[in-house]
Structure 1
Amino acid sequence: MSINEPTLTDIIRARERISPYVHKTPLVRSETFSKMTENEIYLKLENFQKTGSFKVRGALNKLMTTERKDLENGVITASAGNHAQGVAYAAMTLGVKATVVMPKWASEAKVNATKSYGAEVVLYGANFDEAAEKARIMSDQLGMLYVPAFDDDHVIAGQGTIGLEILEDEPSIDYVVVPVGGGGLISGIALACQGKAQVVGVESEAFPSIHDALMGKTPSFGNTIADGIAVKKPSQRTLTYIKKYVKDITLVRDDEIAKAVFLLMERQKIIAEPAGAVGLAALLSGDLKLSGKRVVVLISGGNVDLHLLSRIIDHALLDMGRLLIINFVAPDRPGVLSIAVSTIAEVGGNIIHIQHERESRDVPIGYSKVKIWIEVPDPSASQEIIKKLSPIFPSVAKG
C-alpha cells in the first residue's frame, strides 16, 4: 500500500476541482442542542449534499485526478448505500460509464437511486465483502477503475473539503464531531482542520473497528441501525491518519442514535440517516463529554429507508415515554372496552391502535386479550393510565 498523505494544498485544490459540481452545505447553529448539551452547537448538513451524503466529494475528486485514458473502460465500485450513489453521480457528471456491485439484499430504493444516476447495478453476494470481491474481479477482467470508499488519498482529500467549509464559516470552532466507518471522512476533515480544531470520531458500539484497533483490541461485531458506518475492516491508511490527527473515538448505542435521529426531525426539521446522526447522539447521551465548547456536529447523510424511519420514531417515542403500549385480559362482553377507552381519555391519552384477540390458547374462554397503543403527553401520564386501569383490569402491564 502506498500512502501519500494529502496536504492542506491538496485539499484546497480538491475543493477548487469539485466545487462546480457539489453544494457548499449549510452550517447552522442549533439553539435547542446548544441548551441540551451545554455547548454551542453547529450542524454541518451534508444530508443536503448532492445524492444526500458527503460521499460525492471524494468520488468526484478521485475521478477528476485520474487520467482520462484510465477512465475509458469506466469505473466500478461496491457499496450498499451512499458510496454507490456518490460514484454513480460523479461518473455521470464526467461522462464516464459506472458499474456498482451491490449485495443481493440491497434495498430497492437504493438500487433505483443508484440507477437513476446512470450506473449499471450488479446484484451479487450475501454481504458487502462478497460484493466487493466481485467488483475487484470485474475491475481486473474489464480494465475498469476501482473506486475505493475510503482507502484512497484522493478520496480522503475530497472529503476533507468539508473541513475547509467549516473553518471558512466558523473559524473559531473548538471541536468537530464526525461519524466514523472506514475512516476516510474523518481522516480528510482532521487533515484539513489540524492545528485549528480538535476532531473527534464516533462509531456504533456494534462496529467499534477503529476504536478497538487504536486500543489494540480485537473487535466483536453486532447489529446496528447505523449501517452506513458498519465497517469491519478500516484500512491501514485511515488508521495512520486517525492516530496522527484525531483526538479521540467514542462509541454510541442504537437507542441513543435513534433518539438523535428523532430529535433532529422533531426539533430541527432535519432528516438524517442513523449513521449521519451518531455525532449528535454522542453529545446528547453524554458519551462524548464536552462543556462550554464551540462544536460542529457533522450530519453526514440523509438517505434513510422510510420503513426504518418509522420504526425509529416509534422506538424513540417509547424510550422517551411519549408512546405507551399496554396489554391486559378483559371479559369479552359489550361495554368493557369502552371503560378502558374512557379511562385512557381522562388522563389525556390518545389511542392510535387497538388489537383485540379471542382465539389465542392462553386466553380463557369468555375473555379477550387486548393490546392498545397510546400517545401520551409525558411519562407521568403513562403511570397514571396504568394506575387507573389496574383495579379494573388487574393483568394490565406495559407491552
Structure 2
Amino acid sequence: MAQGASLQDVDTLAANNLPVSIDDVRAAHARIGASIVRTPTLLSKTLSKIVGADVYLKFENLQFTAAYKERGALNRLLLLGDEARARGVIAASAGNHAQGLAYHGARLGLPVTIVMPKSTPTVKVSQTQGHGATVVLYGENFDEANAYSRELEQERGLTYVHPFDDPAVIAGQGTVALEMLEDAPGIDTLVIPVGGGGLISGCAVAAKAINPDIRVIGVQSNRYPALYSMKTGKQIDGGGDTLAEGIAVKFPGQLSSRFVMGVVDEMRIVNESIIETAISLLLDIEKTVVEGAGAAALATLLPTKDGNPRPEFAGRTIGVVLTGGNIDPRFLANVILRNLARSGKIGRLSIILPDKAGALMEVAGIFTRFDANIIEVAHQRVFGVPSAKSTTTEIEYEIKDPAAAMALEQALSDAGYAFDRLTISGTRKGPRGSRS
C-alpha cells in the first residue's frame, strides 16, 4: 500500500480482502486487556542518538511469559465455545506462542498440548511445561512440528491454535500497535520482527487505520527470509541455525502473506552478527534482555559498517517492538562476549614464545603496560609450533578500546614476538613480528 493511502482505502481493503479490521483489534484489546501487561512504550535517548531518529521501544519482553504472543493466544482462547474448551487445544511453536497459550490455557482451565521442534531452547521447553502444558518434541524446525500437531489435532479431537495464521490471533497481536500509538502518537514508522507474519499483520491493520501515512516495516533474519522474498521478489538461499529462532519460519501463512502484501510497506533482512549487536546494545543501554527475534527490528536500524546512520531513517519517529526476552542464558553470555570481541574490547592472540622459564612473564609485562587484563592463557607445544624449543601461547585479554589493542600489538611486534590475531569467526589475521 502506498504511504499516502487514505483511511477509506484502508477500510475498503480490510473489508473486501482481509478478515481483520481495526474494530477486531479494538475488540480484542477490550477482551484481553485485563489479563495481559500493558507494556511501556518508551523513548530511548541513547539509541535515538545512534540511529539518528527518535526511537521508541515497546517492551513486550515484559509480558508475564516474556513475549507478545500471549495476546493473540488469549484472544483465540476466549473465543472458543464450551465444548472446544473442554476438549482442549493444540499448537506448534518454537516457544513464545507455546508459553502464552499454556499460561492462559491453565489460567482458564483448558488442557493445552504443544508440539515443539527438537531444537527449541531448553528454557522455552521448561517454561512451557511449567505453565502446565503437555509438550511433545518433534521435528527439526517449526514446519515439521506444525505438520505433526495437525495430525494430533485430528487424532485427539483438539482445537488447533495457529501461532500466526488465524484472524483471532492476528487481531490479538494487533493490540501491540494500538497501545504504541496511544502512548506515542507521533510515531511515523513502525518496525516489527517478522516470522510467520501474525504480529505485523495485526499491527499494520491497526496502525494504518489510526494513521494512514504511517510506514510499516517488517524485518526477517536473512536465514529465514520467506516474506521478504515474497514482498521484494528477491530470492535468497536461507536455512540453518539462527539466534532468532522465534522468527525462523520457512513457510509463512497464507493469510498473513496477504496482509504483508497488502498493508506492509517494506520488508528488510538482517544477518546474525547485527542481531547479536542489537541484543548487546539493548542489554547495555536499556538494561533489558531481548531474544534474537525480539532484537531484529532494532538491528535493521543500526548504522552501517562504516558507522554512519542509515539515511532512510533520518529524522523519523520510529516505534520498535521488542517482541520477546526468552533467550537461553548460555547463548546470551556468548552474545555478550562475541560483541565485546567485535568492539575490540576483548581480544585473543596466538603468540610464539621460547619454551623457557620467564618467557610468559615477559609477555605478560607488555600486556600490563597497556592495562590489558589477561583472562585466559593456553599453551600448545606440538601442533602449529615451528620448533621443539618454542610454544604457541594463546592469550585472551580485556582492554580499553581498539586503539589500545593496536598499540599492544605494535609493542609485541617491536619486541620481536610473532603472533596471530584470532577473530570470533575462528580465522587468523597475521603473521606479525618475527618468526625466527
TM-score for the superposition, normalised by structure 2: 0.88
Deviates more, 1:82-91 or 1:125-134: 125-134
1: distance between equivalents of 2:273 and 2:347? 17
Would the aligned equivalents of 1:252 and 1:282 in 2 still touch at CA under 8 Å? yes
Question: 1:105–1:260: structure 2 CA closer, same or farther, 3 Å change rule?
Answer: closer
> 1:41 aligned to 2:62?
no
Could you tell me which of 281, 289, 292 is aligned with 2:315? Answer: 292
State the match for 1:66 in structure 2. Answer: 80
- 5 Å-filtered alignment, 1:1-399, equals 5-195=19-209, 196=211, 197-223=214-240, 224-286=242-304, 289-360=312-383, 362=385, 364-399=387-422
Tell me the distance in 2 between the aligned counterparts of 1:299 and 1:150.
Answer: 17
Q: CA deviation at 1:4?
A: 5.0
Segment of structure 1 superposing worse, 258-267 or 218-227: 218-227
For residue 159 of structure 1, what is the amino acid of its counterpart?
Q
Larger deviation: 336-345 or 219-228? 219-228
The C-alpha deviation readout for 1:296-332, integer Å capped at 9, x for no partner, is 1111100001111111112111111111111111111
Q: Deviations over 1:48-105 (max 9, x none)?
A: 0121100000000011112121222110111222111111112112110001112233
Which SS does the other structure have where 1:356 is aligned? Answer: strand
Letter paired with 2:101: V
Query: Would the aligned equivalents of 2:102 and 2:132 in 1 still touch at CA under 8 Å?
Result: yes
Q: Please tell me whether the aligned partners of residues 71 and 144 of structure 1 are also in contact (alpha carbons under 8 angstroms).
A: no
Asked whether the equivalents of residues 58 and 156 of structure 1 are also in contact (C-alpha less than 8 Å), the reply is yes
Please state how far the C-alpha of 1:373 moved relative to its aligned partner. Answer: 0.9
Distance apart, 1:218 and its partner CA: 4.0
Instruction: Supply the distance in 1 between the matched residues of 2:311 and 2:94 (Cα, whole angstroms).
Output: 29
Unaligned 5+ runs, structure 1:
none
Deviation at 1:134, TM superposition (A): 1.5
CA distance in 2 between partners of 1:289 and 1:206 (Å): 24
Q: Say if 1:217 and 1:35 are closer, same or farther in 2 by CA, change over 3 A.
A: closer
Which sits farther off after the overlay, 121-130 or 20-29?
121-130
Partner of 1:343, secondary structure, is helix
1:201 alignment partner AA: G
In structure 1, how many angstroms separate the alpha carbons of the residues matched to 2:400 and 2:47? 21
Instruction: Supply the distance in 1 between the matched residues of 2:39 and 2:79 (Cα, whole angstroms).
Output: 23
CA distance in 2, matches of 1:104, 1:172: 43
SS at match of 1:51: coil
Q: What is the identity, as a one-letter code, of the residue corresponding to 1:204?
A: S
Aligned letter for 2:217? Answer: V
Letter in 2 for 1:198: R
Q: Indicate if the aligned counterparts of 1:208 and 1:219 stay in contact, CA closer than 8 A.
A: yes
Matching residue's letter, 2:337: D
Taking a change above 3 Å as real, the CA distance of residues 99 and 393 of structure 1, as seen in their structure-2 partners, is farther
Please list the CA deviations of residues 322-370 of structure 1 after superposition, one character each: whole Å capped at 9, or x if unmatched: 1111111111111111111111121121111111222436452122111
CA contact (8 A) 2:18 2:258 kept: no
Give the aligned residue type for 1:337: L
Q: What code does the residue aligned with 1:226 have?
A: A
Distance 1:28 1:342, change over 3 A: same
Report if the CA contact (8 A) 1:283-1:289 is conserved.
Answer: no
Shift of 1:236: 2.0
Task: Quote the Cα distance in structure 2 between the aligned partners of 1:42 and 1:383.
Answer: 37
Q: Aligned equivalents of 2:174 and 2:140: distance in 1?
A: 32
Amino acid at match of 1:73: R
Give the partner amino acid of 1:131: A
Conserved? CA contact 2:223–2:238, under 8 Å? yes
Q: Deviations over 1:157-202 (max 9, x none)?
A: 0000011101111112111110011110001111110051221111
Q: Distance in 1 between matches of 2:417 and 2:361?
A: 16
User: Do the aligned residues in 1 keep the contact of 2:353 with 2:417 (CA within 8 Å)?
Assistant: no
For structure 1, which segment, 336-345 or 99-108, has the greater mean C-alpha deviation from structure 2 after superposition?
A: 99-108
Q: Deviations over 1:6-46 (max 9, x none)?
A: 11111111011111211000111111011111111111000
Give the structure-1-normalised TM-score. 0.96
Q: For 2:119 and 2:200, locate their aligned partners in 1 and report how far apart those are by CA, in whole Å.
A: 28
Alpha-carbon distance change, 127 to 243 in structure 1, aligned in 2, over 3 angstroms? closer
SS in 1 for 2:301: helix
- The 1:288–1:83 alpha-carbon spacing in structure 2 relative to 1, beyond 3 Å, is farther
Q: Percent identity?
A: 38
Aligned residue identity for 2:260: I
Q: What runs of 5+ residues in structure 2 fail to find an aligned partner?
A: 1-15, 305-309, 423-436
Q: How many residues align?
A: 398
